[in-house]
């Protein structure tokens, strides 16, 4: 029987005193995580089997000495807040094992004027 590692949610929060490195971090996450969302310019929720330390080591080359980063596991069963409906659906679908397409999530966005 193989050793399977369960996926988990990790939250990444960054502070970039000089300039945001979001493009570089997005590209790295595309390579390192099966799925993720960026819900603010400096905040990500990542669905991954990596540990916080493993993910940090992948992101570290893009971070400057004066940047701040926090990577912490999320217990998505214990949550509360005000987020866009597509964020809650993405989290709930990951918990339940459903693979939601981006087109399904986009349907939850409010219509543009």
Dump pLDDT digits (tens) for 28-74. Answer: 999 999 899 999 999 999 999 999 999 999 999 999 999 999 999 99
> Residue 2 — pLDDT band, cuts 50, 70, 90?
very low
pTM to 2 decimals?
Answer: 0.84
Q: What is the DSSP string of the chain?
A: -------EEEEEEEE-SS---HHHHHHHHHHH-SEEEEEETTEEEEEESS-HHHHHHHHGGG--TT-EEEEEEE-TTS------HHHHHHHHHHHHT----HHHHHTTSPPP-
Is residue 113 in a domain?
no
> Residue 112 — pLDDT band, cuts 50, 70, 90?
confident
State which residues form the domain around 31.
Answer: 8-106
Please determine, for residue 98, whether its predicted confidence score (pLDDT) is greater than 90.
no
CATH number (domain holding residue 35): 3.30.70
Is residue 2 in a domain?
no
Is residue 12 in a domain?
yes
Structural domains in the chain (count): 1
Average pLDDT over residues 88-100: 89
């Amino acid at each position: 029987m193989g050793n399977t590692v369960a996926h988990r949610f990790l939250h990444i929060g960054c502070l970039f005193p000089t300039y945001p490195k979001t493009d570089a971090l997005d590209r790295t996450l595309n390579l390192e995580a099966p799925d993720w969302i960026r819900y603010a310019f400096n905040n990500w929720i990542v669905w991954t089997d990596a540990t916080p330390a493993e993910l940090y080591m992948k992101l570290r080359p893009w971070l400057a000495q004066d940047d701040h980063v926090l990577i912490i596991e999320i217990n998505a069963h214990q949550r509360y807040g005000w987020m866009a409906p597509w964020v809650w659906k993405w989290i709930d679908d990951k918990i339940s094992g459903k693979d939601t397409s981006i087109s399904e999530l986009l349907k939850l966005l409010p219509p543009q004027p």
